[in-house]
Structure 1
Amino acid sequence: MNTIAAHIADFLKDYQPFDNLTFEELSEIATSIRVVNLEKHKTLFQINDVLHDSFYVVASGVINLSVIADAEETLLNKCHKGDIFGLRPFFAKNNYMMTAKAREESIVYAIPIATFRPFVANNTLVLNFLLESFATNTPNHHDKENLRGKLISDNVFYSDQQSEIQYFQSLTYNTSPLTVLTTAVIKDIAKLMTEEISSSVIICENNFPIGIVTDRDMCTKIATGRFQITDSIATIMASPVITVVENVSLAEAQLLMLKYNVTHLCVTLDGTAKSVVKGIISEHDLIIAQASNPGVLIKEIKRSQTPKDLKQIRERLTDLIQNSIHKNIPISHITNIASEINLAIIKRSVELSILDLGSPPARFAWLSIGSQGRKEQLLMTDQDSILVFEDVTPDKYREVKDYFLRLGRRTTATLEKVGFDLCPNGHMGSNMLWCKSLTDWTKQYNSWMNTPGENSNDLSSLFFDFEIAFGEPKIEEALENIIFKNAKNNTLFFDFLGNDALKKNAPLSFFKKFIIEEDGENKDKFDIKTRALMPLIDGARLFTLHYNIKGVNNTYMRFKQLAMIDPKNAEIYLNCADAFQTLSKFRTIEGLKNDDCGQFINLNEMSKIDKEKLKNNFAPMRELEELIKGKFKLTQFS
């Protein structure tokens, strides 16, 4: 082995995933590695370039990875010594989706994928490292313990929340693939594939898959004259065929294609070659699935020009939620992703209003309140928002407020076209009551919190759950500070809020029967929102304000945080967190089934097991109720 290759092998052994290979293996790989010298600002590859045959490791210097979104170059990551980047050729056949440029004079090692692939396929640790890093599209999470190197994916979806869905994102694939017997003649199959516009055919024996022929096989084996068109299809098939279960995820499919160096996977009933064929997944299907990735949806939202564009993206989110629930993904993961996309839609709606109206005359914040403010909006519920603008001189106030009311009306009209109904109670930034200056909002919160009984018809707890969708974060921060300042030792406020939480209607009667709606369009249905979810939401908010927990709006996360702050009652909080997740899932399934907000559950359509499961999740609510009564010295009638 030459000295350069020995030097490279010695360098690689200190970094992941190469530290999982033997020095002999590294030495073998190193002999085919190219050393690339890059001057400062020199580009190695850029967006839409055809993929290289290698991936890269930084030997010295710094490589910047960036994308261009909305005509702006955005730096995604900096790769330092030992970092891997440019992995895209491992996983996809379409062009690069980002630019790699030397920030300073740098040296990178180009590792040919053809050379490295066998070592990946034979080493689970290497394979898992690549898969995890590519599928999560974040700097390597092992770094917290081990700072010797991180792996940067050549993909564009960088936040944890946006990318975790690749682990469970479902694939749409051909569920009626071509299947033939081993005795079929190549000529007939080629004709059949052409007629059916199919890129593959599965060869079966006793209804089980034993091999596969792709259009590439037809080109490389028949067109070259190696086999005759009168031969049987079995002579050119690849065998065995790689099989997967029906609900395989995008990341799992990518892994298997990488591991076995194939372009098609055969879907069977139990995922083995000893069961019936249910479908075929092609590389093309993976590329299509990438387009439904939350990161892609958010990019499309940023480019949207009309409410119609946004509506189509929101509908794709509904499909994504449905697929994820079908795959039994934790509802907290699904909620994370849905809230990011909903937030991006709200933000874009405000941006489109500003493009129409011109620049705002003052800084402001558009805040989502209620369920979206808590990042819990999975279904298309009505919109709740407030608008807060910075203080301006009295002579400008009227003119400034008029602009923001127009902005509010345009934005809520856009969101209505997307599918978010207007709030029936008028809790929206387009309402002059809820569009005002920071000083006016300060007075409003002071009044609500210090004299709550006097204007209780005004006080709605949803104003205490908010999240900035657009604008100046310092305004949101100022509002939060006002709330927590007023909450300190405010017995009257907690008495009011605590009693409000206890007033919610019980889910079950004395005889443990569901309390259902007695009249109206939802007669005989169970109101899961008011009777089951709201007591948990209100309880979590009450204790969060009491314990001065800032910046945590989500009910599930509030309970998790409370369990740490008040360990004596941790079990109650954790039970409430689990109950909230389960009840949210029941509501979401109902909403998806009926294409509504899922508030009213038709108990007649539920199985006995599900009804019991629903009832079991009411138990933590009673524990929470007792905790509220004890902590705030309340009775239900105080």
Structure 2
Amino acid sequence: MKNTIAERIADFIKNFPPFDQLSKEDVYTISKEVNITYLEKDKNVYLANDAPHDRFYMIHKGAIALKQNINSKLETVDRFDEGDIFGLRPLFANENYTTDAVTEEESILYGIPLSIFKPLISQSREVVDFLIQSFASNTENPFSKEMYGSLYDDDLDAVTHEKELFELQPVRYTKKVITAKKDTKIKHIGQLMRQHRIRSIIIEDANIPIGIITDEDLRNKVITGEHTIEDSADHIMSSPVLCYPKGVSISQAQLTMMKHNISHLCITSDGTPNSKIIGVISQQDITVMRGSSPTVLMKAIKRSKSTKELKHIRKRIMVLLEGFVEQNIPLTQTSKIIFELNDATVKRIIERCILKMGEQPPVSFAWMSLGSQGRKEQLLHTDQDNAIVFENVEAEELEPVRDYFLLLAKKVNKRLNNIGFDFCPADIMAKNPKWCLSLDEWKLQFDHWTSNTGDDEILLSSIFFDFDITYGDAALTNQLSEHIFKITKNNHSFLFKLGASALRSASPLGFFRQFLVEQDGAYKDFFDIKKRAIMPIVDAGRLFALSNQIKNINNTAERFEKMAELYPEDEEFYLSCSYTSKALLKFRTKHGLLHNDDGRFIELAALTKEEKMKLKRCFKTIAKVQELIKLKFNLNNFM
């Protein structure tokens, strides 16, 4: 006999995460055991310090506020509405609740029993990720090992995605390894290779790799007459064998082969030559695998002979980025790879433009990428932000030298625009004479910005302080960087104004957990993720880097990770800031790829419940970091 109540519950919860990741059968199994509770307004679901319940809750109708005692005052720290889950603490630890859960209106709650739910989700990474992020809404570190360990074993973390991605996916190695002993005659080695149609033989002792013979060894060491086919294998084998554990990425394997000029790797149980042989990888294995390789793209960039070629390669880079996002590759790895490809593209354009100039640069110079590219955070097609610094020259030589670099910059900026990097609307590009300066001129410019600081100076500082050399003489950019830290050290007035600027974008959430959206214009009712979320966390990272003299780190996530090292007592908080910066960038990238734009404006109606939850948790971190800025820089009266 059907349980109609359970079916109604299942029909509701299957539409919301994490239940949308479970099978229909599992959802129904859970629904049969759900406890339904009706509560009037201002009633407690549980109170802080209450013993944990045997279930967590989903809101069918109504709204719930989490309240916490802060400085002897009960304050709302989070709110939940239809389809949200809360009360997850018993799922992770047998600890008392730390907040009050109170109804803000009449509410109907579904109580999900832990005894039924937990066994069904212990092998689902997607469900576990969602639960951890939900619980982390009121903790600093969203992916602590303790949380993961409470739901599944560490081994699950190594499970790869069903749809594999080139370069960062594990190599598909050959498991049937043909081996021989070191005293096997070379002619028998050749016969084995012909018989099995293979290009290498692992030489082993007790199934431990002690050497490898390839067809190249036969050509170079036997056919040349250096050794005879009657000699033993140990005369021509290469030893020791380069070994890796299973799971080695294509990128790592390929780089190792290139570095050591070899064509084969051995896979062993622990990744060393002292353990059991379980497979072998050849260059041929990698070549035949599907997908676009960053290594191939990098070679194509370096070999390119025209802007048209680079434009085509740029499209392939975007396909690669889309694959990384689809496969949920960690943003740290994704950013580094895309940055290197973008950087190499700009460098190649500069190289070709110098050739077209018909003469070499008159003095040393450096091409600086600014803003998001300078922070290694430019993933999508966004505006150009760049500048040139050149070596100091005598006064009478200054303008002729500048003219050369302005003409060069004009050519470079034009070609960057042609391949997809739009011109900067504010003209912050190297072709602008204001941003094509000698080293001393740049130092004077930075002196002005940090001593005569108005809104315009703060805006320019926020762009130009995040620079990275793309091409040229690093000594120039190093000197410029040293000068910046020199003039900002203990410059309390400038840091105060920089801090005030970082607070101009208030919390992205309005009343009752609603997103603050654009009120008019082309993007009315859209959410500006750059202005309201990404820039506040970027500004905070820059401010902390300058005030703590953190040198040679421009990336926002890495700046906060360095802060976590400098202030271990606040490590969890700063790591949450690092996570937030990466999560927001990934979110923007994902939506930019989806809509083929820069991802800045988000249509809220298109967001899933899970996406909104993730964003709101990031916003809470932004609010906390802004409170810290107020405290550290005496800005409590600013907002």
TM superposition score category, shorter chain reference: 0.5 to 0.7
Aligned mates of 1:632, 1:403 — CA distance in 2: 44
Matched, 1:325 2:433: no
Matched, 1:519 2:509: no
For 2:262, the aligned partner's letter is D
Aligned mates of 2:375, 2:214 — CA distance in 1: 36
Match of 2:406 in 1: 405
Residue 32 of structure 1 and its aligned partner are, at CA, apart by 3.3
Aligned mates of 1:261, 1:464 — CA distance in 2: 45
Aligned mates of 2:403, 2:453 — CA distance in 1: 29
Matched, 1:371 2:368: no
Residue by residue over 1:392-441, the C-alpha shift from the partner in whole angstroms, topping out at 9 and shown as x without a partner, is 11111111000000011100000000100001011111100000111100
For 1:354, the aligned partner's letter is I
Query: Structure 2 vs 1, CA of residues 594 and 471 (structure 1 numbering), >3 Å: closer, same or farther?
Result: same
Match of 2:446 in 1: 445
Which residues of 2 match residues 570-585 of structure 1 at below 5 A?
570-585=571-586
For 2:508, the aligned partner's letter is P
Identity among equivalent positions (%) equals 38
Which of these residues, 245, 257, 273, is aligned with residue 128 of structure 1? 245
When the two structures are superposed, what TM-score results if normalisation uses the length of structure 2?
A: 0.60
Residue 479 of structure 1 and its aligned partner are, at CA, apart by 0.6
Match of 1:634 in 2: 635
Residue 487 of structure 1 and its aligned partner are, at CA, apart by 1.1
Match of 1:78 in 2: none
SS at match of 2:413: helix
Aligned mates of 2:377, 2:214 — CA distance in 1: 35
Which residues of 2 match residues 153-552 of structure 1 at below 5 A?
154=262, 259=279, 286-287=287-288, 289=290, 292-357=292-357, 358-453=359-454, 456=457, 459-552=460-553
Aligned mates of 1:303, 1:605 — CA distance in 2: 42
Query: Structure 2 vs 1, CA of residues 355 and 83 (structure 1 numbering), >3 Å: closer, same or farther?
Result: farther
For 1:306, the aligned partner's letter is S
Aligned mates of 2:341, 2:351 — CA distance in 1: 15
Q: Is the 8 A contact 1:87 1:154 kept in 2?
A: no
Aligned mates of 2:391, 2:350 — CA distance in 1: 17
SS at match of 1:368: strand
Aligned mates of 2:213, 2:599 — CA distance in 1: 44
Aligned mates of 2:396, 2:441 — CA distance in 1: 16
Residue 330 of structure 1 and its aligned partner are, at CA, apart by 0.7
Which of these residues, 196, 199, 204, is aligned with residue 53 of structure 1? 199
Query: Structure 2 vs 1, CA of residues 384 and 85 (structure 1 numbering), >3 Å: closer, same or farther?
Result: farther
Q: Is the 8 A contact 1:321 1:338 kept in 2?
A: yes
Q: Is the 8 A contact 1:32 1:112 kept in 2?
A: no
Q: Is the 8 A contact 2:508 2:516 kept in 1?
A: yes
Residue 511 of structure 1 and its aligned partner are, at CA, apart by 2.6
Residue by residue over 1:350-369, the C-alpha shift from the partner in whole angstroms, topping out at 9 and shown as x without a partner, is 11110111211111000000
Aligned mates of 2:345, 2:570 — CA distance in 1: 38
Residue 575 of structure 1 and its aligned partner are, at CA, apart by 0.6
For 2:245, the aligned partner's letter is N
Aligned mates of 1:289, 1:383 — CA distance in 2: 33
Residue by residue over 1:498-520, the C-alpha shift from the partner in whole angstroms, topping out at 9 and shown as x without a partner, is 00101124311133210011112
For 2:181, the aligned partner's letter is I
Aligned mates of 1:632, 1:87 — CA distance in 2: 65
Residue by residue over 1:169-201, the C-alpha shift from the partner in whole angstroms, topping out at 9 and shown as x without a partner, is xxxxxxxxxxxxxxxxxxxxxxxxxxxxxxxxx
Which 5+ residue runs of structure 1 have no aligned equivalent? 1-24, 36-50, 58-81, 97-106, 141-149, 157-257, 264-282
Matched, 1:32 2:178: no
For 1:341, the aligned partner's letter is L
Aligned mates of 2:633, 2:213 — CA distance in 1: 57
Match of 2:625 in 1: 624
Query: Structure 2 vs 1, CA of residues 295 and 525 (structure 1 numbering), >3 Å: closer, same or farther?
Result: same
Residue by residue over 1:590-609, the C-alpha shift from the partner in whole angstroms, topping out at 9 and shown as x without a partner, is 10011111001111111122
Q: Is the 8 A contact 1:367 1:470 kept in 2?
A: yes
Which of these residues, 152, 156, 165, is aligned with residue 260 of structure 2? 152
For 2:471, the aligned partner's letter is F
Matched, 1:554 2:538: no
When the two structures are superposed, what TM-score results if normalisation uses the length of structure 1?
A: 0.60
Query: Structure 2 vs 1, CA of residues 130 and 589 (structure 1 numbering), >3 Å: closer, same or farther?
Result: closer
Q: Is the 8 A contact 2:211 2:237 kept in 1?
A: no
Aligned mates of 1:151, 1:84 — CA distance in 2: 19
Aligned mates of 2:559, 2:215 — CA distance in 1: 38
For 1:297, the aligned partner's letter is L
SS at match of 2:460: coil
Q: Is the 8 A contact 1:85 1:154 kept in 2?
A: no
Structure with the bigger RCO (C-alpha within 8 Å, sep 6+) is: 2
Query: Structure 2 vs 1, CA of residues 484 and 30 (structure 1 numbering), >3 Å: closer, same or farther?
Result: same
For 1:461, the aligned partner's letter is S
Query: Structure 2 vs 1, CA of residues 135 and 628 (structure 1 numbering), >3 Å: closer, same or farther?
Result: same
Residue by residue over 1:460-515, the C-alpha shift from the partner in whole angstroms, topping out at 9 and shown as x without a partner, is 40111011000000001011001000111100110011001011243111332100
Aligned mates of 1:559, 1:88 — CA distance in 2: 51
Residue 339 of structure 1 and its aligned partner are, at CA, apart by 0.3
SS at match of 1:30: coil
Query: Structure 2 vs 1, CA of residues 618 and 454 (structure 1 numbering), >3 Å: closer, same or farther?
Result: closer
Aligned mates of 1:454, 1:420 — CA distance in 2: 27
Match of 2:153 in 1: none
SS at match of 2:490: coil
Aligned mates of 1:137, 1:289 — CA distance in 2: 15
| Shift >6 Å, 4+ stretches | 82-90, 260-263
Aligned mates of 1:260, 1:458 — CA distance in 2: 55
Size of the alignment, in residue pairs? Answer: 422
Aligned mates of 2:295, 2:386 — CA distance in 1: 25
Query: Structure 2 vs 1, CA of residues 366 and 134 (structure 1 numbering), >3 Å: closer, same or farther?
Result: closer
Which 5+ residue runs of structure 2 have no aligned equivalent? 1-176, 188-196, 204-208, 221-232, 265-277
Q: Is the 8 A contact 2:213 2:238 kept in 1?
A: no
Aligned mates of 2:282, 2:304 — CA distance in 1: 36
Query: Structure 2 vs 1, CA of residues 126 and 439 (structure 1 numbering), >3 Å: closer, same or farther?
Result: closer
Query: Structure 2 vs 1, CA of residues 418 and 154 (structure 1 numbering), >3 Å: closer, same or farther?
Result: farther
Residue 522 of structure 1 and its aligned partner are, at CA, apart by 1.2
Match of 2:49 in 1: none
Aligned mates of 2:398, 2:361 — CA distance in 1: 13
Aligned mates of 2:391, 2:478 — CA distance in 1: 13
Match of 2:135 in 1: none
Q: Is the 8 A contact 2:389 2:438 kept in 1?
A: yes
Query: Structure 2 vs 1, CA of residues 260 and 555 (structure 1 numbering), >3 Å: closer, same or farther?
Result: closer
Q: Is the 8 A contact 1:53 1:112 kept in 2?
A: no
SS at match of 2:181: helix
Residue by residue over 1:211-264, the C-alpha shift from the partner in whole angstroms, topping out at 9 and shown as x without a partner, is xxxxxxxxxxxxxxxxxxxxxxxxxxxxxxxxxxxxxxxxxxxxxxx949999x
Comparing 602-611 and 438-447, the one that deviates more: 602-611
For 1:554, the aligned partner's letter is N
Residue 308 of structure 1 and its aligned partner are, at CA, apart by 1.0
Query: Structure 2 vs 1, CA of residues 611 and 482 (structure 1 numbering), >3 Å: closer, same or farther?
Result: same
Query: Structure 2 vs 1, CA of residues 373 and 550 (structure 1 numbering), >3 Å: closer, same or farther?
Result: same
Q: Is the 8 A contact 1:364 1:389 kept in 2?
A: yes
